[in-house]
Amino acid sequence: MIPISESVQSTQSEIVIRKSEISQIMPSTSSDVVLIGSGIMSATMGVLLKRLDPSLSITVYEVADTLSPEASDGWHNAGTGHAGICELSYTPHMEADGTVNVAKAIDIFQEFEASVQFWSQCVKDGILTEPPNFINPVPHVSFVRTDEQVAYLKARYTGMADHHFFKSMEFTTDSAKIGEWSPLLTEARGDESVAATKMDGGSDVNFGAIARQLLGWLGQQDGCEVLPGHRVTDLGRNTSGDWFVQARQNSTGLFTTRDTKFVFVGAGGGSILLLQKAGLPEANGLGGFPIGGQWMVCDDPAIVERHQSKVYGQALGTAPTMAVPHLDTRIIDGKKSLLFGPFAAWTTKFLHEHGRAIDLPASIKPHNLMTLIKIGWGNFDLVRYMMQQGTQSMADRMKVLHEFYPNAQEKDWKLIDAGIRVQAIKKTDGEAGIVHFGTEVLTSADRSMSALLGASPGASTSVHIVTEAIEKSFPHLLAGEEGIARMRQIIPTYAMDLKATDAATKFEDLARPARKTLGLEFD
C-alpha cells in the first residue's frame, strides 16, 4: 500500500464510519488509489501516479457509460488552451498609474506550459497519439471597443510584451489590421475606437480526447481498472482509518466496494455531494452554486473558414468574469465550427448528463445553509446576471454576438447546451458567502483525500494542479534530486521557474521542441 503523508494527524473521530452498513452487499477489494470521475484531472492524476510508481494499483470510477462526458467533453467547455494570452479576466483592471498588473497572466502561462510539456512527452512515449485529434494551433486575440477599453488594452499589451512569454504578441488600433487577423470582427462595424492584440502561439484543445487517451493507456497497465457505468454511492472511513468507496454498476445494480489509502474526487459538480458523504471536516460550510452553460454554434463552412482565431473581449456590464464573451474557432473530431458565448442557464443539477434535479437541494445542510443564503447578499451582480440570462431570447443573444460580429445572422447559428460548472461557495471573510470562480483543490488534513472544485482555467492547468496534489499526498515520490529527475522524465519543466527574467533562453529551449511535437506555433 502507498504511504500517505503523516505530517498531519487524521481526525477520524469526526468522521462517521458507515462501511458496516454495506459490508453484506459485496466483499471489499482494495486499490492503492481510487479516482472518482474520468475527466482530465482524474486521467492526469492516474497517469502521473502510475508513471511515478508503476507498482501502484489504481481504480477509476465514472458514472456515465462513456469516458469524460461532462466538463472535459469537447462541447462542454470552450476548448481554449488558457495561457493568459487573450483572457482579459486574468488582467481585468487598469491601475491608477495607468499600468495593468499582468502577474496572473504570466502565472497562468507557466501553468499551461506544464500541460504542454506533459502532453508532448506523452506523445513521445506513445501514451497520446495523433496530436491534431486533441490540440491544434489557433491564434489568440483580445478585442475591445471604446476609448477607455482601448487605453486599457494598450497598457495590458505594454506590460505583457516585456515578458519573454509574450514577446511575439502584436497590438493594433488599425481596423484594417484587425480585419486581417479576424475579418468577422470589422465588417460593417463603422467608425468606432477598436483595438486588438494577437499571438499566434495559442491553441484549441479537446480535453475530453486527451482524457480518454490517457485513461485508455492507464486501463492497460497492471493493477489498474477504468470502470465506466459505475456511480459512487458512498465513501467514508473504515475501521483501519483507510477509505472505502462504494459504487453501483448501472447495468446490473450490483454494489462493489474498494478499500484504499487515497481517494481523488474529480467528479466535476458531483464532487460537492461526494465530499459531504465523506464527512470531511474540511468541507464544513462548503456549498455549490450550479451554473449551466449554453453556446451559440455556427457550422456554415463559408463563415467558419473566415474566422481562424479565438477572440476574447471584456465582460459586458456587471456580468462576472466567468461570463466574458468570446468568438472561437473550435476543432472537434477534425471538424471546424464557430462558437460564441458563454450564456448561462438556470439549473439545479450538478452534472449535465448524469445530474439530478435534486442535486442542489440535496447539498443544502445545516453547516452550509447560512453561507448559501447569504450568497444573494454578497454576490448581487451574479444573481442579477443569472436572472437576466434566464430570460434571454435568441434575439437577445444575437445582440451580444453583434458586439463581436456585426454581420451575424440568426439563421446561421444554433443554441446548444454546454456543461455545468458548480462554483464553490465557502464561508470566508467572516459570515459572507463568497463564490469562487477559479479552480480550488480541497485536501483532507491527513492528505489521504483530494478533491477538485471550480472552473477556468482548470482543464488547461490540469497538470500543474495535479502535481501540486501529488506533492501534498505523495511527497515520497518526489523527494530529493531523484524524485525531481523522475518527474522531469514525465514533465521536462517540472520545478523550473520559467517566468524569471533570466529564464528566457531556458524557456525557448524547452518550449520550442514541445510545441513542435504537438504541431503548435512557437514564434
pLDDT in tens, 247-281: 999 999 999 999 999 999 988 777 778 888 888 88
pLDDT digits (tens, 9 = 90+) for 202-237: 999 999 999 999 999 999 999 999 999 999 999 999
Is 207 contained in some domain?
yes
Identify the pLDDT of residue 270: 77
Among 53-57, 111-115, 367-371, 428-432, whose mean pLDDT is lowest? 428-432
Count of structural domains within the chain: 1
- Give the H or E element holding residue 194: strand 194-199
Residue 5 lies in a domain: no
| β-bridge pairing 243-249 and 255-260 | antiparallel
Distance in angstroms (rounded) separating the CA atoms of residues 227 and 59:
7
**pLDDT at residue 344 greater than cutoff 50:** yes
The answer on pLDDT for 500 being more than 80 is yes
Predicted local confidence at residue 364, as pLDDT: 64
The answer to whether residue 1 is domain-embedded is no
Is the pLDDT assigned to residue 429 strictly greater than 70?
A: no
With bands split at pLDDT 50, 70 and 90, how would you rate the model's confidence at 452?
confident
Check whether 321 has a pLDDT greater than 60.
Answer: no
DSSP-derived 3-state class of residue 331: strand
- Classify residue 4: in a domain, yes or no: no
CATH number at 318 reads 3.50.50.60
Q: Which of 276-290, 363-377, 423-437 has the lowest mean pLDDT?
A: 423-437
pLDDT score at 436: 47
Q: How confident is the model at residue 323 (pLDDT cuts 50, 70, 90)?
A: low
Cell of 303: 463563415
Please tell me the distance from the alpha carbon of residue 500 to that of residue 519, in angstroms, as a whole number: 26
- The predicted pLDDT at position 322 comes to 58
Highest mean pLDDT among 150-164, 262-276, 363-377: 150-164
What integer pLDDT is reported at residue 299 of this predicted model? Answer: 97
Tell me what pLDDT residue 430 has: 42
Q: Which residues pair with 144 in a beta bridge?
A: 195
124, part of any domain: yes
* Domain of 280, in residue numbers: 12-497+506-518
Task: Please give the pLDDT value at position 134.
Answer: 97
Q: Is the pLDDT of residue 509 over 50?
A: yes
- The confidence score (pLDDT) of residue 243 equals 96
> Where is pLDDT greater, at 357 or 25?
357
Identify the pLDDT of residue 13: 32
Does residue 3 lie within any of the structural domains? no
Reply yes or no on whether the pLDDT at 482 is more than 50. yes
- Among residues 79, 80, 87, which one has the least CA distance to residue 106? 87
pLDDT number for residue 284: 72
Instruction: Please tell me the distance from the alpha carbon of residue 468 to that of residue 365, in angstroms, as a whole number.
Output: 30
Please say whether the beta carbons of 218 and 226 come within 8 A.
yes
Lowest-confidence segment of 131-145, 180-194, 262-276, 485-499 by average pLDDT: 262-276
pLDDT of residue 295: 92
Calculate mean pLDDT across residues 486-500.
97
Pure H helices in 86-129: 103-124
The answer for 306, left when phi > 0, alpha when psi is -120 to 50, beta otherwise, is: alpha
Mean pLDDT of 468-483: 95
- Looking at residues 188-192, what average pLDDT do you find? 89
Average pLDDT over residues 174-181: 96
pLDDT at 301 over 90: yes
Q: Is residue 187 part of a domain?
A: yes
Rounded Cα distance between 508 and 264, Å, is 34
Q: How confident is the model at residue 21 (pLDDT cuts 50, 70, 90)?
A: very low
Average pLDDT over residues 40-51: 97
CB 336 within 8 A of CB 298: no
pTM attached to this predicted model: 0.89
* Long-range contacts of the stretch 491-496 (C-beta < 8 A, 24+): 491/114, 491/117, 491/118, 491/121, 491/463, 491/467, 492/117, 492/121, 493/113, 493/114, 493/117, 494/114, 494/117, 494/467
Please state the separation of Cα 210 from the chain's center in Å.
13
Q: What is the mean pLDDT of residues 458-479?
A: 94
